[in-house]
């Protein structure tokens, strides 16, 4: 199993989970031409969308037009589309769905959107992956997780400094705090989790101005003692259960 990052952050999010025979897309927040360039569309088994904000759903309609099946909550689909569509599957929190050889379970997240969610994704080649973005808190516990893709959007220290310097309006800072995962909170989140089965942590959706990628990676890797990566555009990593 390979993870490919086509975009991660406020300018657009899109991630591919790819085997020799299948591709599962997570988020459609980059232009459709970039997605089509990176995939064999005949291998795509579906696309997961966490919520309606354009940096996560921009290419949803174009994907549907090309026959890609979308999996999202009812609230997200209603915000993105004017009417129901055959290629949209409305998912329910904590219910498992089979998408090709992937098994996907959505869970509730905390964001300023209609019905945002994260996903637990399972596949025989990679084990269990937890995907959580655009949330200031994750209420669930997860067991036997092999790979994590978790938002680490900002640090309180950098955000406060940018507000002080006038680079970030106080109102925007308030929104960031109540809708995104902060470095210290991510660190505490992992402290409460059983990481005995964990192989990789991938930090996603870093802020352009309120984050420091090198510092964030170092803090989380030291805290967890697990291999930690930053999901920059073009980043690829193996998510297999075995090294080879």
Q: Which domains can be identified in the chain, with CATH numbers?
A: 2-236 (3.60.15.10)
pLDDT digits (tens, 9 = 90+) for 165-197: 999 999 999 999 999 999 999 999 999 999 999
The pTM is what? 0.96
pLDDT at 84: 77
pLDDT at 83: 79
pLDDT at 222: 98
Give me the mean pLDDT over the 121-127 stretch. 97
The DSSP result for the chain, as a single string, is -EEEEEE-STT--EEEEE-SS-EEEE---S-HHHHHHHS-GGGEEEEE---SSHHHHTTHHHHHHTTPPEEEEHHHHHHH-SS--TTEEEE-TT--EEETTEEEEEEE--SSSSS-EEEEEEETTTEEEEEE-S-S-------S--EEEEE--B-HHHHHHHHHTTSS-HHHHHHHHTTS-BHHHHHHHHHTS--TT--EEEEE---SSS--HHHHHHHHHHHH-SEEEE--TT-EEE--SS--
pLDDT at 243: 57
């Amino acid at each position: 199993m390979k993870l490919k990052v086509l975009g991660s952050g406020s300018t657009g999010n899109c991630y591919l989970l790819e085997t020799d025979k299948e591709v599962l897309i997570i988020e459609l927040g980059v232009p459709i031409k970039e997605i089509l360039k990176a995939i064999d569309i005949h291998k795509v088994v579906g696309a997961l969308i966490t919520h309606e904000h354009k940096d996560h759903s921009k290419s949803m309609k174009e994907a549907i037009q090309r026959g890609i099946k979308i999996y999202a909550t009812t609230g997200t689909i209603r915000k993105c589309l004017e009417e129901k569509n055959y290629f949209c599957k409305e998912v329910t929190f904590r219910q498992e769905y089979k998408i090709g050889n992937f098994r996907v379970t959505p869970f509730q997240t905390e964001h300023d959107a209609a019905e945002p969610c994260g996903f637990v994704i399972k596949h025989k080649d990679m084990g269990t992956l937890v995907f959580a973005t655009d949330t200031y808190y994750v209420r669930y516990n997860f067991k036997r997780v092999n790979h994590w893709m978790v938002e680490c959007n900002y640090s309180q220290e950098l955000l406060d400094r940018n507000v002080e310097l006038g680079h970030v309006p106080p109102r925007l800072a308030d929104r960031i705090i109540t809708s995104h995962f902060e470095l210290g909170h991510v660190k505490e989140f992992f402290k409460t989790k059983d990481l005995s089965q964990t192989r990789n942590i991938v930090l996603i959706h870093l802020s352009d101005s309120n984050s420091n990628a090198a510092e964030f990676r170092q803090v989380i890797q030291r805290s967890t003692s697990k291999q930690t990566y930053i999901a920059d555009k073009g980043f690829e990593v193996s998510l297999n259960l075995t090294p080879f």
